[in-house]
Structure 1
Amino acid sequence: MSPAGYTLSPAIAVMFADLGIPAGPVLRAAGLPGDLFVRGPVTVTPEQFFHCWTAMAEISGDPAFPVRAAERMSTETFHPPIFAALCSPHLRRAAERIAAHKRLIGPQRVLIAPGDELRLTMRWPAVPVPPPGLVAYELAVWVALARIATRTRVVPARFTTPDPPAGAVAEAWRDFLGVPFRRGTEAEVVFAAHDARRPFLTENAEMWRVFAPDLRRRLADLERAESTAERVRAVLIELLPAGEGTATAVARRLALSGRTLQRRLAAEHTTFQRVLDGTRHALARAYLDRPDVSATEIAFLLGYDDPGSFYRAFRSWSGTTPQRARPRR
């Protein structure tokens, strides 16, 4: 399993069948082999995964395809960590379990904010940028999970993405979610406190004890396969917007001493500063693709104290300024 890839389960064939979409043309359009779904779980690159999603949307011929996929979501289409989370006592505990094992599915992170309400933020690597429909669908998985487990039409308190849909697609999402999309800097879904604690009818502590050891083993295997540089990059994506992208903060998050972190990076022929610069450059390029984010905002999202420091760093990376890079892209 690649820590930088997405795991495709054979269960995805159920989604294709439910949506009436032929798998062959989708796989060909995404540059994937036609027998992919009969091989068992396989790992694909982010580019291949996003191409597969885009091809599904195009071949379906339905602009509201992500909504239909969310409406037809069932336990048969859930990945093992999400299916196992149905054994939880309520949505908050399920979210904690999924957040701990989300990397078994793909290079995404689930952040759970403190507080009575349940605020879940989805984070993707800066590049490549996921399709907006996929971002919305991934958030809708939480709504479907809550409804399946409680047999109640749980309605989220808020639902935000950086690139919300418009027109008929937005109305279709509103019909499904029960609330309108909001534009926000993060992809987030928020549940009221009473919905976060609403009892799961699917709770099964004994079944969770069956699932948990295998999930822990798979997660340990994944962590052993990850390079230290990859782990540092993942943590930096979380810490930089808060201005905490220091070697000390990263080492603390990885439960390492600063000296051990530097030694492991040196063994991979890199340094913390190189990983930091590379992560900031990749994030900057991704943010510059979004016209709603100013260069000044990008500077602070990358953890710089002032825009001037970002401008100088960007010029050293790319040989040009952020303003000139944005029109070219």
Structure 2
Amino acid sequence: MDTFALEPAVQALLVDLGVTPAHVLRRAGLPPDLFGRAPVRLSPGQYFALWRALEEETGDPELPLAIGRALSPEVFDPPLFAALCCPDLRTAARRIAVHKKLIGPVTLRVDEAQDRMRLVYHWPVALDPPPLLVITELVFWVVLARTATRTRLRPLRITAPEPPEDPEPYRAFLGTAVEHGPLPSVAFAAADAQRPFLTADRRMWDFFQPELRRRLSELEAGASLTDRVRAALLEQLPAGSAAMELTARTLAVSTRTLQRQLKSEGTTFQAVLNDTRQALARHYLTHSGLSVREISFLLGYEDPNSFYRAFHSWTGRTPAQATAEAARSPADPDPADAL
């Protein structure tokens, strides 16, 4: 579950971008016949190297936009192509959120309110995805919505930890600038999220669904319960919940079964929760610029004082001390490798 899928259609996308696939592979240090083997799964290091090589090969600071313009049904991989079969963007987002792990170890959360739908990405703390990849993921949603509705939908807001240096080309293409934010996200008006997809095809979805379900089951079968609990917590915590009962419901097991199986793996729910919170806390303090109050909420604490006490018990330092130390040693490796 900690690998990324590389589908055969990627080669067609590279050609459409005017890039020679062999040059990208050589620059990334990957086997020259890799695209001929696809679909294959790459480690995060290999996958990120491929994206960085693509950026270096093109030298295009607006590469996410170029990829957005080149995207077509022919270069979507199966989970994303299946999204075009959905009746609307809201349904597509929900389905992709379920099947996102088929593409890579990234969590997609769908937050819905009366007036808008917001899609939020959570990358494992130990991973450091290239900004190019993060922004391309966000651009994809705009392209998907426009492709399926045949209208020039404009998102309400887009955020990324590292926005593009020049915001104007993105504002012109997307209809809004990519703003700085602690988490990658894109929000659409509720009316646009429910706008009918002209590409909707229930028969095609019925064709895709069994295969996607089979692949998802195979992938999850190889994951430990500890990994699955951690993944569930990464979705729960930013919504303000750290309840074991919610985690158990998410994983479709009873709390008793959850506790018993975690014990058989040599851990407990509280231990996984603490490890997850600690790794996220270190990441937020050193990379996000968020206040302690905001971080405490994202970690599922109702009271910032509870977060202060917990962080001190984990590290022997206060959050302010940890932030100051990180500022003095920017080149040090990220200590949040527990995830």
TM over 0.5: yes
Correspondence for 2:3 among 5, 9, 12? 5
Taking the aligned partners of 1:139 and 1:121, their CA distance within structure 2 comes to 9
Q: CA RMSD in A?
A: 2.3
- Checking the alignment, whether the CA contact within 8 Å between 2:4 and 2:103 is kept in structure 1 is yes
Q: Deviations over 1:126-163 (max 9, x none)?
A: 22122222111101111111111122222212222222
Alignment TM-score, normalising by the size of structure 1: 0.90
Does residue 327 (structure 1) correspond to residue 320 (structure 2)? The answer is: no
Taking the aligned partners of 1:291 and 1:245, their CA distance within structure 2 comes to 21
Are the structure 2 counterparts of residues 146 and 308 from structure 1 closer, same or farther at C-alpha, using a change threshold of 3 Å?
closer
- What is the match of residue 313 of structure 2? 313
The aligned length equals: 324
Taking the aligned partners of 1:205 and 1:104, their CA distance within structure 2 comes to 21
Taking the aligned partners of 1:291 and 1:64, their CA distance within structure 2 comes to 24
Percent identity reads: 48
- What is the match of residue 287 of structure 1? 284
Are the structure 2 counterparts of residues 45 and 282 from structure 1 closer, same or farther at C-alpha, using a change threshold of 3 Å?
farther
Taking the aligned partners of 2:79 and 2:257, their CA distance within structure 1 comes to 31
- Checking the alignment, whether the CA contact within 8 Å between 1:14 and 1:77 is kept in structure 2 is yes
Are the structure 2 counterparts of residues 204 and 25 from structure 1 closer, same or farther at C-alpha, using a change threshold of 3 Å?
same
Q: Per the alignment, in what secondary structure is the counterpart of residue 113 of structure 1?
A: strand
Does residue 173 (structure 1) correspond to residue 170 (structure 2)? The answer is: yes
Q: Deviations over 1:8-35 (max 9, x none)?
A: 1011101111112222333234332221
Query: Gapped runs of 5+ residues in structure 1?
Result: none
Q: C-alpha displacement at 1:316, in angstroms?
A: 5.3
Show the 5 A alignment for 1:33-52.
33-52=31-50
Taking the aligned partners of 2:174 and 2:62, their CA distance within structure 1 comes to 13
Are the structure 2 counterparts of residues 300 and 151 from structure 1 closer, same or farther at C-alpha, using a change threshold of 3 Å?
closer
Taking the aligned partners of 1:196 and 1:43, their CA distance within structure 2 comes to 31
- What is the match of residue 131 of structure 1? 130
Deviates more, 1:14-23 or 1:287-296: 287-296
Amino acid at match of 2:139: A
- Checking the alignment, whether the CA contact within 8 Å between 2:182 and 2:288 is kept in structure 1 is no
Taking the aligned partners of 2:39 and 2:316, their CA distance within structure 1 comes to 42
Are the structure 2 counterparts of residues 234 and 153 from structure 1 closer, same or farther at C-alpha, using a change threshold of 3 Å?
same
Query: Gapped runs of 5+ residues in structure 2?
Result: 333-339
- Checking the alignment, whether the CA contact within 8 Å between 1:66 and 1:133 is kept in structure 2 is yes
Amino acid at match of 1:132: P
Taking the aligned partners of 1:295 and 1:29, their CA distance within structure 2 comes to 41
Show the 5 A alignment for 1:127-276.
127-167=126-166, 170-276=167-273
Alignment TM-score, normalising by the size of structure 2: 0.88
Are the structure 2 counterparts of residues 189 and 241 from structure 1 closer, same or farther at C-alpha, using a change threshold of 3 Å?
closer
Deviates more, 1:128-137 or 1:248-257: 248-257
Deviates more, 1:85-94 or 1:234-243: 234-243
Amino acid at match of 1:181: V
- Checking the alignment, whether the CA contact within 8 Å between 1:102 and 1:108 is kept in structure 2 is yes
Taking the aligned partners of 2:81 and 2:216, their CA distance within structure 1 comes to 16
- Checking the alignment, whether the CA contact within 8 Å between 2:84 and 2:199 is kept in structure 1 is yes
- What is the match of residue 335 of structure 2? none
- Checking the alignment, whether the CA contact within 8 Å between 1:57 and 1:66 is kept in structure 2 is no
Q: Deviations over 1:77-101 (max 9, x none)?
A: 2110110121112212222221221
Are the structure 2 counterparts of residues 281 and 21 from structure 1 closer, same or farther at C-alpha, using a change threshold of 3 Å?
farther
Q: Deviations over 1:267-293 (max 9, x none)?
A: 222222332232223223322331623
Are the structure 2 counterparts of residues 146 and 23 from structure 1 closer, same or farther at C-alpha, using a change threshold of 3 Å?
same
Show the 5 A alignment for 1:68-79.
68-79=66-77
Q: Deviations over 1:105-136 (max 9, x none)?
A: 11122222222422221222122122222111
